[in-house]
A and B are shown apart, each in its own frame.
Chain A
């Protein structure tokens, strides 16, 4: 991929830079070394701090931190299963809702004849990416919540807050990320192959599935990875519409009830006020920090796997 190639070139230059003996560059080199060192020190330090701190809760809870849904800090029990599930479900659901729209939207836009309209739609979607997430959250409260409540209340939706609302909001928020990456890859491919394909007599649909999709797959997958990362890490917007109900599992009232009604995710737990209360209760603090560590590992993990996967294709 282009990004890793760039990184490789930069690393090469960086090493040449440090190995070279140009006296006039020594001050710059020193500054660069200090910055590099502090970046490594800070990121490693933060990681080690999290690992070290999270030991306390693991000692008390063991595996039940991951396997049970009983987060009651006043009762000194910390089972985060519902939080993990909430994060995973909202992120994947958001991606599943968003993926077809962005994919076919980008393809349709690519096929538009009018340059003017194409440009303005592209600009509009890119602008969507710059809407602050708290504004998205507020719009979610004002527009999405009552709207969904109206539609889904016959199916058991109680407040309008919930995992489905959060996922829908997230899917709108990650749309620009997916859309712009896919559009870029489509535009590259179609320039190359479009005319040849049409000369061969392929229909547009056939062209999409047999040329554009397979060739664009690496870019599509990396757009999914980035979108998933954004969805899993998003806090403020989700915080406002998820309802923040602890320890809710689908086994309580079925999957439909689970999706339509309030829950809690890892980011909304961490974004809440508990860190202020956890002061000097080592286990509580440790539980929150372990949750933060898991969040880092999860988002790094999904991104790495999907990016790796996307690189292997032609």
Chain B
């Protein structure tokens, strides 16, 4: 009886280990997340490859789990900085570009209709530093500005900080209300009067209750649309990456090949992001 139980337990454990071995764990950005989840579904049904996708902690978690070996791919929605490379000096990161996107400053539709249609970079800076605290100071209604800051470690925040301050490290230490995933940021902007947040353009365009603001740079108003993002004129444009740190096995290569293929790039476009390049395949 005892031996039987032991054997079945051991067998169960073995199969569990085998399953974990066979699957691909991917962690990181919620912006890249939906693309990879969709790709995982397709690969699961076509090639029986198991892929687990986790977006807790954002891009920073993607890099750290890659460095600690708990994930085989990281999803990153920003450039890997010198600071990141210094932090994980033992790990060699290989980036695989799968699409591009931009970060927009986003308000609710109501606020947009009340006259908040664009901000200049310096206005955005003043709001972030709490020097401007009411919408009427930047052309909106008389309402307090509630800045919902993306939590630390999110690629979206780093792209924002880089655009406004030139360097992530130069961003001042201010405390704001924090939001985590894109979904949370979006729903809080909708439900909070006077709210402003940083959000992926693709996520903002999918929902009519939120609006992406234009950004004026040196007096020139630039909308976060495809043309300006592709030309990198829009200051908060960014690339979306899968990152690996070790040589790839067959399954992992299959995932990348799929994402580069026409079908994979169509998924990227379906979610509102931009293809790697118009000429791909």
Contacts and interface: CB of A to CB of B under 8 A. Distances in A.
Interface of A: 72-75, 77, 141, 145-146, 158-161, 243-248, 262, 272-274, 276-277, 279-281
A139 to B, nearest CB: 14
Contacts of A247: 175
B57 interface: yes
Contacts of B178: 243-246, 272
B192 A277 contact: no
B191 A160 contact: yes
A273 B152 contact: yes
Contacts of A72: 173, 175
Interface residues of B, number: 31
A161 B61 contact: no
A92 B173 CA distance: 30
Closest A-B pairs by Cβ, 9 of them: A72-B173, A244-B178, A246-B175, A273-B57, A276-B61, A75-B173, A273-B153, A276-B57, A159-B192
B195 interface: yes
A245 B151 CA distance: 10
Interface of B: 56-58, 60-61, 64-65, 67, 87-88, 144, 146, 151-154, 169, 171, 173, 175-180, 187-188, 191-192, 194-195
B152 A277 contact: yes
Contacts of B56: 273
Contacts of B191: 145-146, 160
B60 A276 contact: yes
Given A145-B191, A273-B58, 14 more contacts: A72-B173, A73-B152, A74-B152, A159-B177, A159-B192, A161-B177, A245-B175, A262-B177, A272-B152, A273-B61, A274-B152, A276-B57, A279-B88, A280-B88
Contacts, number: 74
In the complex, which of the residues B57, B178, B192, B195 has the most CB atoms of chain A within 10 Å of its own CB atom? B178
B171 A273 contact: no
5 contacts: A72-B175, A74-B171, A77-B173, A160-B192, A247-B175
B151 A244 contact: yes
A277 B176 contact: no
A275 to B, nearest CB: 8
Contacts of B65: 276
A277 B153 CA distance: 6
Q: Is the interface of B mostly helix, strand, loop or mixed?
A: mixed
Q: Is the interface of A mostly helix, strand, loop or mixed?
A: loop
B175 A158 contact: no
B100 to A, nearest CB: 24
Nearest to A75: B173
Nearest to B87: A280
B60 A277 contact: yes
Nearest to A74: B173
B175 A273 contact: no
Nearest to A280: B87
B146 A159 contact: yes
A246 B178 CA distance: 9
A262 B175 CA distance: 11
A276 B194 CA distance: 31
Residue among A141, A146, A273, A281 with the most chain B CB within 10 A?
A273
Contacts of A159: 146, 177, 188, 192, 195
Contacts of B64: 276-277, 279
Contacts of B154: 273
A276 B151 CA distance: 12
B171 A279 contact: no
Contacts of A274: 152-153
Contact of A272 (B151, B175, B177): B151
A279 B67 contact: yes
A281 B86 CA distance: 11
Contacts of A160: 191-192
Contacts of B169: 74
Nearest to A272: B151
Contacts of A146: 191
Contacts of B151: 244, 272-273
A77 B175 CA distance: 13
Nearest to B62: A276
Nearest to A161: B177
B141 to A, nearest CB: 15
Nearest to B195: A159
Contacts of B144: 158
Contacts of A244: 151, 177-179
Nearest to B180: A273
Contacts of B180: 272-273
B150 to A, nearest CB: 10
A262 to B, nearest CB: 5
B147 to A, nearest CB: 10
A56 B171 CA distance: 25
Contacts of B195: 159
Contacts of B179: 244
Please indicate which of the listed interface residues A146, A248, A272, A277 has the most CB atoms of chain B within 10 Å of its own CB: A277
A145 B195 CA distance: 15
Nearest to A77: B173
A72 B171 CA distance: 11
A272 B157 CA distance: 15
Contacts of B177: 159, 161, 243-245, 262
A273 B55 CA distance: 11
Contacts of B88: 279-280
A158 B187 CA distance: 16
